[in-house]
Amino acid sequence: MHGLINRAVQCYLRDTFGAGRWRDIARESRIGVENFEPMLLYPPGTTEALITAASRVMGRPRDALLEDMGTYLVSNPQLEALRRLLRFGGSDFEEFLHSLEDLPGRGRLALPDLALPDLVLTAREAGRYRLRCRSDLPGTGYVMIGLLRAMADDYGALALLDYLGAAGDCEDIGIELLETGFAEGRAFDLAFRTG
Amino acid sequence: MARDEDDLTVGLGRAALDRLMPMHLYLSAGGTILSAGPTIARLYGKNGLIGLDFFATFEIRRPVGISGPADLARVAGARLIMLPLQTDGLSLRGVALPLAGAGGGMLLNLSFGIGVVEAVAHYRLTDADFAVTDLAMELLYLMEAKAAVTDELRQLNLRLQGARDAAEEQALTDTLTGLRNRRALDMTLDRVIAEGQSFGLMHIDLDYFKAVNDTYGHAAGDHVLREVGQALMSETRKMDTVARVGGDEFVIVFKDLADPGRLSRIADRIVARLSLPISFEDHSCMISASIGISISTDYDPPDPERMLDDADQALYASKKAGRGRAQLHHPAPRGDGDPCLN
């Protein structure tokens, strides 16, 4: 699994529960490292071991942890780069939803080794969508729910998200878009400030 | 039933034209700008572009020699590189094609090319300023993704560099005393010889060290070695290399120092210093040192192996002469025969 993903899990756990608890989780998961390098590759199963250990050590349901992590990925100021890259998907939340199918391709453009979940968006009726998410990591659908909720917030849209169920390595998410201009979204200036 | 393509004429209203080509310019047959897409118009602010003479507002850099409507018609369909004269540094590229119909005139479609990144920042452009088919957003996305990846790689490199420095330092350090080790000594000798620097080499062997070890134990021995290391560091300069090369053997490389008198005085000072008692717990450990010195200027060319051997022989002579003293190795007068020691 790509170090970037493991690093994201590490940052989420460390920032949320503290460095001490993160070390407990790393030990419990028997992954053999306490610090992931975002630009290196790690053996398959590492992410799974981390999530399982985190759930056990923190006494929290796996799904809730994953959903919380999805929100963290977009809303943590230290990960502003990721939020910006996601915002390139579209100028409003609905456009962003339609761009999700491009997500693995966009990920590969940045990092050829990066495997992101396969996403397929199906429109059901006006303002209602189903997002099918296929991934090696069970519970990725919950990460997507947390991430989409934070992105809706970012765009100032009001959306209801719910987990419809899983079959094999596919998970389905229901998205109901109630209002696109619900609130003032966060600013997104196309110009990128370096340094 | 197939229609001849040449007969196909498409009419577009202003709104459609703006949406399809937000950076278009529509020129009259005389070269006056009749219409400008909303994005190209942003470059010119309130005054706008309408009614201006195209050839007075833009400079066509490529192809060369385009200064009027007839020239432009001649390069219809070719790639144009042009500079808007009011903006500094911005370069646009595009294509001009003649329009069908009675009025004639030309339609130009432009884009920012690679300068899109600066243009976005300078004119505060948004997604809506680009044609839906324009890859500008993808380019901007890629640029940011690349910057993020490069930043991560730079940090990774810094961490790896730090780890490498630490590992290298460890590989060159004697763990007990913190002095350099044999490997570091060899590297130092190779380097100073390669650089053609003169240097003095001092081989130091502790006297009575075995007795300290046997009487007070290894902890005392280790303590004495560490104290000796400290003493050697304080009796030498920062540029010198102090290495522990065996149990109680040390070698010092004095860079840029080939004067026998000075080296002897330093050696005497080291002997005096190491002859002072070293306390360990309740005990007072007495050692001393025997020293042999060789000097690079006695060799042509200097050979580390031979210089170490010769310093060792001088050291042996010190031991034989009663320990607690230093001796210089004296080279044979004609470069042959046995080295003469005194």
Q: How far is CA B81 from CA A173, B44, B69, B92, B95, in A?
A: 49, 19, 16, 6, 9
Same-domain pairing of A128 and A39: no
In which band, very low, low, confident or very high, does the pLDDT at B271 lie, cut at 50, 70 and 90? Answer: very high
Contact by Cβ (8 Å): B49, B34: no
Judge whether B104 lies within some domain: yes
Same-domain pairing of A171 and A131: yes
CB contact (8 A) between residue B156 and residue A81: no
Same-domain pairing of B53 and B120: yes
Same-domain pairing of B187 and B240: yes
Return the number of CB contacts < 8 Å for A and B: 53
* pLDDT tens readout for residues B214-227: 999 999 999 999 99
* pLDDT tens readout for residues B155-185: 999 999 999 999 988 899 999 999 999 999 9
Exposed e or buried b per residue across B189-227, where buried means at least 16 C-beta atoms within 10 angstroms of its C-beta: beebbeeeebbbbbbbbbbbbeebbeebeeebbebbbeb
Q: Residue B270 above 90 pLDDT?
A: yes
What pLDDT sits at residue A195? 43
* pLDDT tens readout for residues B211-265: 999 999 999 999 999 999 999 999 999 999 999 999 999 999 999 999 999 999 9
What pLDDT sits at residue B47? 74
Rounded to whole angstroms, the Cα distance separating A190 from B4 reads 44
In which band, very low, low, confident or very high, does the pLDDT at B44 lie, cut at 50, 70 and 90? Answer: confident
In which band, very low, low, confident or very high, does the pLDDT at B6 lie, cut at 50, 70 and 90? Answer: low
Same-domain pairing of B47 and B163: no
Same-domain pairing of A35 and A96: no
Judge whether B5 lies within some domain: no
Same-domain pairing of B186 and B311: yes
Same-domain pairing of B114 and B262: no
A91 to chain B nearest CA, in Å?
7
CB contact (8 A) between residue B121 and residue A37: no
Element (H, E) at B225: helix B218-234
Judge whether A191 lies within some domain: no
Tell me which of B134, B248, B298, B310 is the catalytic residue: B248
Smallest Cβ–Cβ distance between B141 and the set A4, A106, A189 belongs to A106
Judge whether B176 lies within some domain: no
B163 to chain A nearest CA, in Å?
13
Same-domain pairing of B84 and B189: no
Q: Per-residue confidence of chain A (195 residues) as pLDDT tens digits?
A: 689 999 999 999 999 999 999 999 999 999 988 899 999 999 989 999 999 999 999 999 999 999 999 999 999 988 888 999 999 988 899 999 999 999 999 999 889 889 999 999 999 988 899 999 999 999 999 999 999 999 999 999 999 999 999 999 999 999 999 987 778 888 888 877 654
In which band, very low, low, confident or very high, does the pLDDT at B45 lie, cut at 50, 70 and 90? Answer: confident
Give the number of C-alpha atoms closer than 13 A to the C-alpha of residue B226, restricted to the C-beta side: 11
Contact by Cβ (8 Å): A136, A126: no
Rounded to whole angstroms, the Cα distance separating B221 from B229 reads 12
Smallest Cβ–Cβ distance between B144 and the set A84, A90, A111 belongs to A84
CB contact (8 A) between residue A189 and residue B147: no
Same-domain pairing of A105 and A161: yes
**B163–A contact, CB cutoff 8 A:** no
Q: Hey, what are B242's tokens?
A: 């102090």
Same-domain pairing of A41 and A135: no
- CATH label of the domain that carries residue B229: 3.30.70.270
Same-domain pairing of B223 and B267: yes
Phi/psi of residue B233, nearest 5 degrees:
-65, -40
Most B CBs within 10 Å, among A190, A192, A193, A194, to test the B interface? A190
| Positions of E strands within chain B | 24-27, 33-36, 58-62, 80-84, 92-98, 106-111, 199-207, 241-244, 249-255, 278-280, 283-285, 288-295, 326-330, 340-341
* Number of compact structural domains in chain A: 2
Q: Residue B7 above 80 pLDDT?
A: no
* Catalytic residue status for B248: yes
Same-domain pairing of A99 and A145: yes
List the one residue out of A53, A61, A60 whose CA is nearest residue A34.
A53
Phi/psi of residue B282, nearest 5 degrees:
-95, 0
Q: Residue B17 above 60 pLDDT?
A: yes
Three-class secondary structure of residue B329 per DSSP: strand
**A40–B contact, CB cutoff 8 A:** yes
Same-domain pairing of A91 and A144: yes
Query: Residue B159's domain spans which residues?
Result: 140-171
Mean pLDDT in chain B? Answer: 90
Same-domain pairing of A56 and A75: no
CB contact (8 A) between residue B149 and residue A85: no
Same-domain pairing of A94 and A170: yes
**B190–A contact, CB cutoff 8 A:** no
A107 to chain B nearest CA, in Å?
9
**B139–A contact, CB cutoff 8 A:** no
Judge whether A75 lies within some domain: yes
- CATH label of the domain that carries residue B76: 3.30.450.260
**B74–A contact, CB cutoff 8 A:** no
Same-domain pairing of B114 and B51: yes
Task: Report strand pairing: A118-125 vs A128-134.
Answer: antiparallel
Q: Residue B3 above 60 pLDDT?
A: no
Same-domain pairing of A41 and A117: no
What pLDDT sits at residue B88? 73
CB contact (8 A) between residue A191 and residue B124: yes
Same-domain pairing of B79 and B149: no
Judge whether A185 lies within some domain: no
Task: Report strand pairing: A158-167 vs B92-98.
Answer: unpaired
Same-domain pairing of B95 and B223: no
Ranking B17-31, B56-70, B81-95, B304-318 by mean pLDDT, the lowest is: B81-95
Smallest Cβ–Cβ distance between A192 and the set B127, B143, B149 belongs to B143
pTM to 2 decimal places: 0.70
| Cross-strand bridge partners of residue B202 | B252, B293
B18-26 mean pLDDT: 95
- CATH label of the domain that carries residue A90: 3.90.1520.10
Query: Residue A170's domain spans which residues?
Result: 71-179
**A35–B contact, CB cutoff 8 A:** no
CA A182 to chain CA mean position, Å: 23
Same-domain pairing of A79 and A158: yes
What pLDDT sits at residue B77? 95
Contact by Cβ (8 Å): B203, B311: yes
Same-domain pairing of B301 and B205: yes
**B133–A contact, CB cutoff 8 A:** no
Length of chain B: 342
Judge whether B264 lies within some domain: yes
* Number of compact structural domains in chain B: 3
CB contact (8 A) between residue B120 and residue A190: yes
Same-domain pairing of A76 and A55: no
List the one residue out of B303, B339, B331, B326 whose CA is nearest residue B203.
B326
Same-domain pairing of B85 and B160: no
